[in-house]
Amino acid sequence: MAKKKKTSAPAPAWYKHTWWLIPMIAILIYIPSFNADFTLDDVLIVEDNTFVKSLDQIPAIWTSHYWAGKVDATDTGLYRPLTLTTYNLQYALTGESPAAFHILNILLHALVCLMVMTMASLLFLDFRLVIISGLLFAIHPIHTEAVAGIVGRAEILAALFILTSMVCYHQWRQKGEIKWLVLMLVSTLAAITSKEHGFLMIAIMALQETYYYFTTKTFSWSERKKWIAFGSVAILSLGMWMVRSSITGPTASHELWANVGSADRMATSVRTSAEYIGLHLWPFPLSADYWIDEVPIVGFGNVKVLFGVFVILGMLSLAYYLRRKLPVASWGILFFFLMLLPVSNFVFAAGFLKAERILYIPSIGLILLMSVMLTKVLDLKSGRIPGFILLGLFLLLFTWRSWTRSGDWKNNYTLAVATLQTSPNSPRFNNMMGLELRAQNKNDEALAFFEKAVQANPNHVPALVNLGMQYSYFNRQQEAGDLLEKALTLEPGTLATYANLMSVYRTTGAHDKNIAIAEKAMQRFPQSAAIMWNAANAYQLAGNMARANEIRAKALAIDPNIGGGK
């Protein structure tokens, strides 16, 4: 039978101040992103999202998929209504100022740090673990993408409510007060509706019980309170899965996974998972995008994949070996892999090859592992000074890296500059740099970046559309039309492709083609005033004024200000 877990020495008097000091550090370290702009998907999910602009849209948020507020959404596989509701409510309170959205993200991150400390305090009973894990979580550079990017709020909210559920479950086991069970279920529901990781709550509880099994002398699997909690969470999760399934469609995976077999995808996942572990110790390089140059898709015979297998099996073996001697470490390792699994590309293809934002929740486990290992070094008779030096180096490195990294999110231009240093052939960021240079009227430079994006991935639809627009600007209409037609074939659901192809046909006088595309566009986007207006122009140029006026009236009914109004 396992021994009853030991508690650490009594906490010093100054320990109580760490409960406000560490969350404050978590806020201060993100000062560079306080006044940042909307970047990347922030624009689509917040700034241009029709579901965010009005409180009347809240019911629609809870009955629609995550991207439903984007008129030409193709990814219907996500359901995160609570996250979207926070954007909606904040927009109503603070308007469209990106600074307010960034500041709330940072405050929520500080709250997560507080919950990491609370969870560590209740479960692991060592004030040093509480301090070190709270500090490392607050300042770790792998969190910058989730915190500095507004759309990272899904990760932050899910982490917050998962940790809250864990704390409430612990209190329910200890005290049996119904309020803790209710709070646990409410937190689980909030986690599920923030991000899909919430559905893992029952597995997290099982891992929590396994920790209790190896640390509590009087442990019993038959306690009624446990099964009430497990049953309640199971019923809630099943019910929410049914709700989610009735609303969502297929998830859009990354374009490069399209023709990749399961074995190669899993092998690549193993390699990136090992790299994720390394980033916790040495957060270099960090990138907002990883292209195939950085994440080559390879099989299990690849040397780096084999090394990844060795690392992962070694970590899991360590978790098993330490289950009695150091169960906190075992919990940390297993929590990391459990939370990483659904976003690792191992089980199914996700919308990325590799991404740091998805480490926000899994990192709780490895940060606990790092913290407990540091405390063990401090416990050694000759390890106190080396331990404090090592901890100090971690704190200095992570603080500097997070401070500089969060500044990259100032705007899309600064983010593109930073990302193209780590992923120079990224189609997404070459395309973004082209857009930023176009906005600065540097059209020759913009053209070069659009061409580089298409060269890296000839099927990257946003780059095809923007390169087509740029060719049109330089009066290379035939090339522009060819690119836009290809983009339309690859992805027939992108509004910008139709609008720009109509523009090219209008310029070249191809009225029949213009009208044909206009009809397809109106059928697909009947609520788009811009599409209707362009279609009306197509009919007007073809000499059909009656049809043009009919369509133009529909455009004005949708947006009375389009075209300068009546």
Structure tokens at 443: 């059209």
d(CA 11, CA 13): 7
Calculate the CA dihedral of residues 248, 254, 256, 257 and round it to 10 degrees: -50
Instruction: Answer for the pair 516, 493: CB distance below 8 angstroms, yes or no.
Output: no
- Nearest 5°: CA angle at 336, between 5 and 361? 110
Neighbours of 438 (CB within 10 A): 19
| Closest residue by Cα to residue 288 from 139, 431, 156, 417 | 417
Residue 141 · residue 360 · CB < 8 Å: no
pLDDT for residue 74: 80
Per-10-residue mean pLDDT, the chain, length 566: 54 95 98 96 94 96 95 88 98 95 98 98 94 98 98 99 98 96 99 98 97 88 92 98 95 85 97 98 96 96 98 98 96 98 95 96 98 94 90 97 97 98 98 98 98 97 98 97 97 94 95 96 94 95 95 94 74
Give me the DSSP letters along 502-518. HHHHHHHT-HHHHHHHH
H helix runs in 282-383, sequence order: 303-321, 327-340, 363-379
Closest CA to 20 of 89, 95, 124, 110: 110
List CB contacts of 182: < 8 A, sequence separation 6 or more.
none
Amino acid, res. 114: L
Residues 6+ positions from 180 with CB-CB distance below 8 Å: 168, 169, 171, 172
CA distances from residue 452 to 162, 428, 471, 496 in whole angstroms, order as listed? 42, 10, 14, 20
Three-point CA angle 43, 524, 71, nearest 5°: 15
DSSP 380-406: STTTHHHHHHHHHHHHHHHHHHHHHHH
Q: Tokens 């560590």 correspond to what residue?
A: 120
Only one residue has tokens 């986690």, namely 191
For the entire predicted model, the pTM comes to 0.95
Q: What are phi and psi of 395, to 5 degrees?
A: -65, -45
Within 10 Å of residue 394's Cβ, how many Cβ atoms? 18
Predicted confidence at residue 201, as pLDDT, reads 98
How far is the C-alpha of 438 from the C-alpha of 76, rounded, in Å? 31
The pLDDT of residue 3 is: 46
Q: What are phi and psi of 431, to 5 degrees?
A: -65, -40
Residue whose structure tokens are 């600064």: 414
Extended beta strands in 272-391, E state: none
* Three-state secondary structure string covering 104-135: HHHHHHHHHHHHHHHHHHHHHCCHHHHHHHHH
* Rama region for 254: left / alpha / beta (φ>0; ψ in -120 to 50; rest): beta
Helix (H, G, I), strand (E, B) or coil at 458: coil
* pLDDT for res 1: 33
- CB contact at 8 A, 140 and 280: yes
pLDDT on residue 382: 86
Place of tokens 């997560």: 112
Sign of CA dihedral 305, 308, 313, 314: positive
Which CATH architecture describes the domain 419-564? Alpha Horseshoe (1.25)
DSSP H or E segment with residue 356 = none
**Torsions phi, psi for 554 (to 5 deg):** -65, -40
Domain regions of the chain by residue span = 19-247+261-381+395-408, 419-564
CA 431 to chain centre: 20
Length of the chain: 566
